[in-house]
A and B are shown apart, each in its own frame.
Chain A
Amino acid sequence: MPESLSRAIRWDTVVGALLIVLLLLSFSTVDGFSNALNLSFLIGNTLPIALIALPMTLLVVSGEIDMSVASTAGLSGAVMGALWNQGMTIEAIIPICLLLGVVCGLINGLLVTRLGLPSLAVTIGTLAAYRGIAQIVLGSDAVTDFPTQYLDFAAGRIGDTFVPQAFLPFLVLLAIAVVALHATPFGRSLFAIGASEEAARFAGIRVKRQKLILFTLTGLMASLTGIFWALHYASARYDNATGLELSVIAAVLLGGIDFDGGKGTLGGAIAGVFLLGALQNVMSLQDVSAQSQIVVTGVLLVVSVLGPRVARQISVARAGRTAASAPVSKAPTPTS
Chain B
Amino acid sequence: GGTTKEDVKNESTGAAAAGGKADPNAATKKGLTVGFLPKQVNNPYFTSADKGGEAALKELGSSYKEVGPSSATDTSGQVSYVNTLTQQQVDAMAVSAQDPGALCTALKQAMSNDIKVVTYDSDTNPECRNAFVSQASAEDLGRTEVQLLAEQIGYKGEIAILSAAQTATNQNIWIDFMKDELKDPKYKDIKLVKVAYGNDDAQQSFQQTQGLLQEYPNLKGIISPTTVGIKAAAQYLSGSKYKGKVKLTGLGTPNDMRKYVKNGTVDAFELWDPAKLGALAAQTAVALVSGQITGKEGETFKAGGTSYTIGKDGVISLGKPTVFDAKNIDQFNF
Contact = CB atoms under 8 A, between A and B. Distances in A.
A35 B65 CA distance: 22
B111 interface: no
Q: Max chain A CB contacts within 10 Å: which of B65, B71, B74, B87?
A: B87
A151 B125 CA distance: 16
Interface stretch (A1-9, A11-19, A80-88, A199-207): A80-88
Given A235-B75, A235-B100, A91 B2 contact: yes
B12 to A, nearest CB: 7
B81 A89 contact: no
Interface in A211-264: 229, 232-235, 237-243
A285 B80 contact: no
Q: How large is the interface on A (under 10, 10 to 19, 20 to 34, 35 or more residues)?
A: 35 or more
A198 interface: no
Contacts of B151: none
Contacts of B73: 239, 242-243
B178 interface: no
Contacts of A113: none
Contacts of B69: 290
B5 interface: yes
Taking chain B's interface residues, is the majority helix, strand, or loop, or is none over half, making it mixed?
Answer: loop
Interface residues of B, number: 48
Given A32-B88, A290-B77, A234 B4 contact: no
A274 to B, nearest CB: 14
Contact of B87 (A38, A87, A147, A233): A38
B5 A144 contact: no
Contact of A284 (B2, B80, B103, B169): B80
Interface stretch (A135-143, A305-313, A321-329): A135-143
B99 A142 contact: yes
Contacts of B282: none
A289 B37 CA distance: 12
Contacts of B125: 144
Nearest to B65: A287
Interface in B1-36: 1-9, 11-12
A134 to B, nearest CB: 11
A145 B9 contact: yes
30 contacts: A33-B87, A37-B109, A41-B83, A45-B80, A48-B76, A87-B4, A87-B5, A87-B6, A89-B2, A89-B4, A140-B172, A142-B99, A142-B101, A144-B102, A144-B104, A145-B12, A147-B3, A148-B8, A150-B3, A233-B102, A239-B165, A240-B75, A242-B73, A242-B74, A243-B71, A281-B80, A281-B84, A284-B80, A290-B41, A291-B70
Interface of A: 31-33, 35, 37-38, 41, 45, 48, 84-85, 87-92, 135, 139-151, 155, 229, 232-235, 237-243, 280-281, 284-285, 287, 289-291, 294
CB-based closest 8 A-B pairs? A89-B2, A144-B101, A235-B101, A91-B2, A235-B102, A32-B87, A233-B102, A41-B83
